[in-house]
């Protein structure tokens, strides 16, 4: 049997990042077989760590750091998707809210000096007294 160590470049990556996936040497198969395990999501990476496919504190630390990066990328994609979905609604709501604020301001100028003005914007109620 040919030694696996002679077939790997030195230093070789035990854990790496490739196109949004964590790629690691499946150490449960060593020394008989050299196989790379691709983890495309957080549960797959957690399974790889739990099943000891990646071993040793430095390698586990690198895998965990890549897991954080993967988690961040997933969250950013979700946030961007939500922002794109809501952007039209937010623009319409902003225009309506600014109109409501202007109407409230104009109405408050017409009231007596001690009148109470209530303005509700985005579900937040504020009460102010104007002193003229």
pLDDT computed for residue 123 by the predictor: 45
The tens place of each residue's pLDDT in the chain, 132 residues long, gives 455 556 666 777 889 999 989 999 999 998 899 899 999 999 999 999 999 999 999 999 999 999 999 988 888 887 777 666 666 555 566 666 666 666 666 666 665 444 444 444 444 444 445 454
- Contact criterion met (CB below 8 Å) for 20 and 40: yes
Residue 85 belongs to what domain range?
4-129
Omega cis (within 30) before 31: yes
Q: Classify burial at 46, counting beta carbons within 10 Å of its beta carbon; exposed 0-12, middle 13-18, buried 19 or more.
A: middle
Instruction: Give me the CATH number covering residue 81.
Output: 1.20.120
**What total number of domains does the chain contain?**
1
Are the C-beta atoms of residues 38 and 21 closer than 8 Å to each other?
A: yes
Res 83: pLDDT: 66
pLDDT at site 118: 44
Interior angle at CA 78, CA 95 and CA 86, nearest 5: 15
Nearest Cα neighbor of 64 from 107, 98, 94, 22 is 22
| pLDDT at res. 66 | 93
User: Position of tokens 């003005």?
Assistant: 117
Residues 6+ apart with CB under 8 A from 24: 14, 15, 16, 36, 37, 39, 48, 53, 54, 59, 63
């Amino acid at each position: 049997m040919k030694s696996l160590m002679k077939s790997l470049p030195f230093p070789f990556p035990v854990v790496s990042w490739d196109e949004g996936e964590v790629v690691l040497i499946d150490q449960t198969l060593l020394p008989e077989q050299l196989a790379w395990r691709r983890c495309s999501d957080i549960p797959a990476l957690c399974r790889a760590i739990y099943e000891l496919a990646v071993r040793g504190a430095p390698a586990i630390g690198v895998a965990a750091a890549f897991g954080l990066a993967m988690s961040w990328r997933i969250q950013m994609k979700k946030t961007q998707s939500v922002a794109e979905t809501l952007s039209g609604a937010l623009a319409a709501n902003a225009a309506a809210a600014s109109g409501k604020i202007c109407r409230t301001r104009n109405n408050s100028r017409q009231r007596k000096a001690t009148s109470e003005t209530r303005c509700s914007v985005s579900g937040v109620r504020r009460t102010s007294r104007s002193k003229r």
